[in-house]
């Protein structure tokens, strides 16, 4: 007998029938009177100085309502990311000019009339080269993300060198996770309209509507009360719609279209090259392991290819520093987490938000340890599993642990018979001290 009437029940989606009958209205389905359509001029190269932007011919195309550059943006920077590029382009696909016109074809025609004079530069694409002191700096603040007073986030627990000295085995590995695109089936799309009272209304696919509202109010140079965002129906996000760019550009364009709404539907190509993505992560692991399989020292250097702008890289570095030592009570931990900027499209959140990468690295590392020591893959994980009351590498007290229980059940479901002692373990057991 269930103690709850609704909690714990397999109930269909609130809007399930709407989805099944295609009644759900996505932002791309919305049409407003007088609507204009947006296209942007994007940099074809990953790194260049902008010498000149000429929009005069574009402005004269029949059916064009507005053409904007950085000059037309009240406050062009959102943190370090320009709404429209001003002095330089730092990634291939970066927006430089935006057009609102009566239809997409006319907008494209106008874009084709835009002349941007670029002085191409050698792009910095390799984060390890970017870390070298003589590398070209792609940002005035330098190629490293500054964390406090350092160019990395350190984690120091115990004495990792002493741990290595005590260990019976040292296992070193390098891991690389790929750059991934969220690829939601709905691309970035937005509609903006600034009304007669100077309020800007935005129909958005943002996953972080209130953050974006604050950013857009900053861009427009108005109080937040002047920005009204309507959203919450999104055709897939996965972290790719946290740092939208479409709404910022639309909002500015809408200042210049005399109250007419502007709509921008990103093409799949734009989504693939210019939206935010999961950047490549590099991990260098060095573990000290006792002969009975306990990891007693872990040293990790973590280099995140951070793309061209800050975005949420600082958050991920913090999170990865907390997580990369894995769900293991390792007494000696030394982590240096770097985020290094390169001339790639902006890097931000994607499902896992840093721990997709760390979980891959630490779980393959522990497998390598198992093979090196000749210990069973399950046993090595049970030996090193967190228990209730253990502390993570950064000091979080872990409660309601269940690594042990999920492993036991997964093994059982997979038809793998674990040894008695592994089947008897519980997260709530007090750990045996070595």
Partner 1 sequence: MAKKRGIGVGAVWYPTGLSGGGDPSQSVIKMRPDGSVDVVIGSCDIGQGARTIMRQIAAEELGVPIEKITVSAIDTDVSPLDTGTFASRITHQTGNAVLLAAREAREVMFEVAAGLLGVTPDQLVAEDDKIVVRDFPEQAIPIADVAGHATWVERKLIAGRGSYGGKPESLDNETGQGNVLHTMAYGTTVAEVEVDTETGEVTVLKLISVYDCGKVINPLLAEGQIDGGAAMGLGGALLEELHPYYPTLDHYPTGFFSYMIPTAKDVPALESLIIEIGSKTGPYGAKGIGEMTNTSPPPAIINAIYDAIGVWITDIPATPEKVLRAIEEQLGGKVD
Partner 2 sequence: MNYTISFTLNGTPVQVEAPAHINLLTLLREHLDVVSPKFGCAQGNCGACTVHLDGEPVNSCLVLAMTVEGREVTTVEGIGTLREPHPLQVAFYENYGAQCGYCTPGMIMSSVALLQKNPNPTRDDVVNAIVGNVCRCTGYHKIVASVLAAAEQMKTK
Under rule CB under 8 A, which residues in 334-353 are in contact with partner 1? 335, 342, 344, 349, 351-353
Going from the C-alpha of 206 to that of each of 24, 95, 241, 417, the distances in angstroms are 17, 19, 5, 46
Site size for partner 1, by CB under 8 A? 117
Tokens standing for residue 431: 């750990």
Residue 413: which of partner 2, partner 1, none does it interact with, CB under 5 to 8 A by kind? partner 1
Q: 22 in the Ramachandran plot: left (φ > 0), alpha (ψ -120 to 50) or beta?
A: left
**Sheet with strand 36-42: strands edge to edge:** 64-68, 95-101, 36-42, 262-265, 189-194, 200-203
Shortest Å distance, C-beta 122 to partner 1: 12
Residues 431, 424: Cα–Cα separation, whole Å: 13
CB 45 within 8 A of CB 117: no
Taking the least distance from each CB to partner 2, the nearer of 265 and 361 is 265
Residue tagged 């920005």 (tokens): 227
The Cα–Cα gap between 189 and 208 comes to 15
Smallest gap from residue 80 Cβ to partner 1 (A): 20
Are residues 117 and 52 in contact, defined by beta-carbon separation less than 8 angstroms?
yes
Per CB under 8 A, the list member of 2, 6, 132, 420 interacting with partner 1 is 6
Residue 119 β-bridge partners: 49
For residues 153 and 317, the answer to whether their CB atoms sit within 8 Å is yes
Longest dimension (CA), the chain: 80
Q: What's the rounded Cα separation, in Å, for the pair 93 and 111?
A: 14
Q: CB under 5 to 8 A by kind: which of partner 1, partner 2, none does 22 bind?
A: partner 2
Nearer to partner 1, 76 or 212 (CB): 212
**Partner that binds at residue 144, options partner 2, partner 1, none, CB closer than 5 to 8 Å by kind:** none
Contact mark string toward partner 1, 365..384, x via CB under 8 A: --xx--x-----xx--x---
Nearer to partner 2, 183 or 418 (CB): 183
- The residues in 48-77 that bind partner 1, with binding defined as CB under 8 A, are none
CB of 183 to partner 2, least distance (A): 6
Which partner from the list partner 1, partner 2, none does 155 bind, CB cut-off 5 to 8 Å by kind? partner 1
Of residues 278 through 317, those in contact with partner 1 by CB under 8 A are 280, 305, 315
Query: x/- binding map, residues 381-410, to partner 1, per CB under 8 A?
Result: x---xx-----xxxxxxxxxxxx-xxx-xx
Q: How many CA atoms lie within 13 A of 113 on its CB side?
A: 17
Is 423 an interacting residue with respect to partner 1 (CB under 8 A)? no
CB of 56 to partner 1, least distance (A): 30
- The pair of three-digit structure tokens given for residue 397, joined into one six-digit string: 């007290």
CB of 425 to partner 1, least distance (A): 13
Task: Report the nearest approach of partner 1 to the CB of residue 87 (Å).
Answer: 22
Q: Which does 414 bind (CB under 5 to 8 A by kind): partner 2, partner 1, none?
A: partner 1
Which residues here bind partner 2, judged by CB under 8 A?
12-13, 15-26, 28-29, 31, 182-187, 234-236, 238, 265, 267-268
Q: Are 84 and 71 in contact (CB under 8 A)?
A: no
Find which of partner 1, partner 2, none residue 323 binds, CB within 5 to 8 Å per kind: partner 1
- Written as one string, the DSSP assignment of 130-184 is HTSTTSPPSSTT-SBPPBTTBSSEEEEES-HHHHHHH-SEEEEEEEEEPPB----
From candidates 147, 192, 289, 306, binder to partner 1 by CB under 8 A: 147
Closest approach of partner 1 to the CB of residue 360, in Å: 5
Cβ contact 311:81 at 8 Å: yes
CB atoms within 10 A of CB 16: 11
Report in angstroms how near the CB of residue 20 gets to partner 2 at its nearest. Answer: 4
Exactly one of 26, 256, 284, 360 binds partner 1 (CB under 8 A); which one? Answer: 360
* Least distance (Å) between residue 302 CB and partner 1: 12
């Amino acid at each position: 007998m269930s103690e709850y009437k609704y909690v714990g029940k397999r109930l269909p989606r609130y809007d399930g029938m709407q989805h099944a009958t295609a009644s759900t209205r996505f932002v791309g389905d919305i049409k407003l009177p007088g609507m204009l359509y947006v296209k942007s001029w994007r940099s074809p190269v990953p790194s260049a100085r902008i010498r000149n932007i000429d929009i005069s011919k574009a402005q004269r195309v029949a059916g064009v309502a507005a053409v904007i550059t950085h000059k037309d943006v009240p406050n062009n920077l959102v943190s370090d990311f320009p709404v429209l590029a001003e002095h330089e382009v730092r990634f291939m696909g970066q927006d430089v000019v935006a057009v609102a016109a009566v239809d997409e074809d006319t907008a494209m025609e106008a874009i084709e009339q835009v002349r941007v004079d670029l002085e191409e530069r050698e792009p910095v694409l390799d984060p390890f080269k970017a870390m070298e002191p003589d590398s070209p700096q792609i940002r005035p603040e330098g190629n490293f993300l500054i964390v406090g007073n350092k160019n990395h986030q350190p984690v120091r627990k115990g004495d990792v060198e002493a741990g290595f000295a005590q260990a019976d085995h040292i296992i070193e590995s390098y891991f690389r996770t790929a750059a991934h695109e969220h690829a939601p089936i709905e691309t970035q799309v937005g509609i903006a309209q600034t009304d007669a009272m100077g309020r800007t209304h935005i129909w958005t696919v943002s996953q972080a509507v209130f953050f974006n509202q604050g950013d857009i109010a900053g861009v427009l140079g108005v109080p937040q009360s002047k920005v009204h965002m309507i959203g919450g129906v999104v055709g897939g996000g996965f972290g790719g719609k946290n740092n939208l760019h479409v709404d910022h550009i639309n909002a500015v364009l809408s200042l210049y279209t005399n109250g007419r709404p502007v709509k921008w539907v990103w093409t799949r190509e734009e989504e693939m090259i210019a939206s935010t993505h999961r950047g490549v992560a590099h991990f260098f692991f060095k573990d000290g392991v006792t002969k009975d399989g306990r990891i007693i020292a872990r040293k990790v250097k973590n280099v995140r290819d951070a793309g061209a702008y800050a975005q949420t890289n600082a958050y991920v570095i913090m999170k990865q520093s907390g997580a990369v030592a894995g769900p293991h009570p390792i007494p000696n931990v030394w982590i240096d987490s770097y985020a290094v900027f390169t001339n790639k499209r902006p890097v931000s959140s994607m499902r896992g938000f840093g721990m997709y990468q760390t979980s891959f690295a630490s779980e393959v590392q522990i497998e390598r340890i198992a093979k090196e020591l000749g210990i069973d893959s399950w046993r090595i994980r049970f030996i090193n599993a967190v228990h209730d009351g253990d502390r993570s590498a950064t000091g979080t007290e872990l409660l309601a642990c269940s690594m042990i229980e999920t492993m036991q059940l997964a093994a059982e479901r997979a038809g793998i018979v674990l040894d008695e002692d592994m089947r008897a373990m519980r997260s709530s057991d007090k750990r045996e001290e070595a």
